[in-house]
Amino acid sequence: MKLRCASCGQTYALSDLAWRCTHCHGMLDLTGFTPVMPPPGDLALRRPSLWRYAEALPIAEPLGITLGEGFSPLVSAPGRPGVQLKVDYLMPTGSFKDRGAVLLVALAASLGVTRLMTDSSGNAGTAVAAYAARAGISCGVYVPESTSAGKVAQLRAYGAEVFQIPGSREDTAEAAARAADVPGVFYASHVYHPFFLQGTKTYVLELWEQSGGRLPETLVLPVGNGTLVLGAYLGCVELLSQGLIDRLPRIVAVQAARCAPLATAFADGLPAPAGLTLPGLTVPGLTVPGLTPSGLTPSGVTPSGVTSSGLTSSGNTASGTVAEGIAIARPARGAQILSAVRETGGSIVTVTDDQIHSAHTELARAGLYVEPTSAVCWAAISSFGLEDAVAPLCGSGLKSKPPA
């Protein structure tokens, strides 16, 4: 099992602690690993955590690190019988990011890492910090200066060293990258390291099992850096390759209108968001041996009914949106995100901050208190009248300031 550059093909051992290609700065993806879904009979006897899918994960369950993450409940949506919500904010640190963080920290521990760094708008950082604390690994987290006070407090409570960086989310990522290039430091990046996607794919594996061995017609997912979109796509492809589903569900990815580089690129038919170089023409690391993305086109699934037309999707800065968790102006895996969404016959849409405010209130009145970023999917479902759909509630409302 190695890391492979999506652009030039250079490979790296996991022990190299590489987070991007040292030759061309391309994105790294996982190669040399063949996941297998456990038999349904075996699953029935296993604990309700993401580690029930052990054969489909690239690392063994870290017994001293795990917090029982995964297998979040699937609940009915208010007023929409054809829609369900997966309550991922009930994870140990209050967000879906625990899915990927536990795999990243487990890898770091297995490699003998004593210091790791990460950057985040808040949730990924708190997840990595929590598992680093469990593993006894020193942790530094870079966050934007504007990060919610609750998330910063949570980071410090876990013992992480917190660096609050003025400027944009991209400024924060650049500061972390400079710190991560110190020899011996493991950059536990939820964006760059493919082990994180191996964790987020369990969202779909759980959904498949909880739904009786099927997936809905539509997966509605928030998208900023795309770790849940790409993980979900990866999980769907793995299920399809093993004959456990007969089609890919379409992915409807949702951005905030005030920061929508992916929606803009999707509407314009571009292979990558403006300002990003294209790492490849396929979805590297997100394919299954023997299959290519072109061979996975779902039959009977088109983007009709969910398009970007008529939406305000031209914003390419992270200025002023209440959805801080997806305010990413330059998503590093943007080309992969666009390719994955198109492969499913899906779409990338936007919602306004006013729609997010309304959705946030509607969910709270139904007993579901989420952070504003987590309300974007409900805003899209309400706006487009989607049915036979599932959306995640990604982060707890206790972690961030409510919409003004």
CATH number for the region 97-193 comes to 3.40.50.1100
Per-residue model confidence (pLDDT) at position 365: 97
Segment 209-225, tens digit of pLDDT: 999 999 999 999 999 99
Residues 6 or more apart whose CB falls under 8 angstroms from that of 23 comprise: 5, 8, 10
Segment 275-327, tens digit of pLDDT: 765 443 344 345 333 333 333 333 333 333 333 332 333 344 445 799 999 99
Q: What's the mean per-residue pLDDT of the chain?
A: 89
Burial (CB count <10 Å: 0-12, 13-18, 19+), residue 289: exposed
Spatial separation of the C-alpha atoms in residues 279 and 25, rounded to whole Å: 10
Fold equal for 74-95+195-399 and 97-193: yes
Spatial separation of the C-alpha atoms in residues 52 and 44, rounded to whole Å: 9
> What's the pTM value of the predicted model, to 2 decimals?
0.90
The DSSP symbol for 140 reads E
Segment 264-279, tens digit of pLDDT: 999 999 999 987 654 4
Segment 179-219, tens digit of pLDDT: 888 888 999 999 999 999 999 999 999 999 999 999 999 99
The helix/strand count (H/E) of the chain reads as: 12, 13
HEC letters along 319-344 = CCCCCHHHCCCCCCCHHHHHHHHHHC
CATH number for the region 74-95+195-399 comes to 3.40.50.1100
Angle between helices 98-110 and 227-241 (to 10 degrees): 80
Question: Nearest 10 degrees: CA dihedral of 263, 265, 267, 271?
Answer: -130
Residue extents of the structural domains in the chain: 74-95+195-399, 97-193
Residue with tokens 């996982």: 30
How does residue 403 score in pLDDT terms, banded at 50, 70 and 90? Answer: low
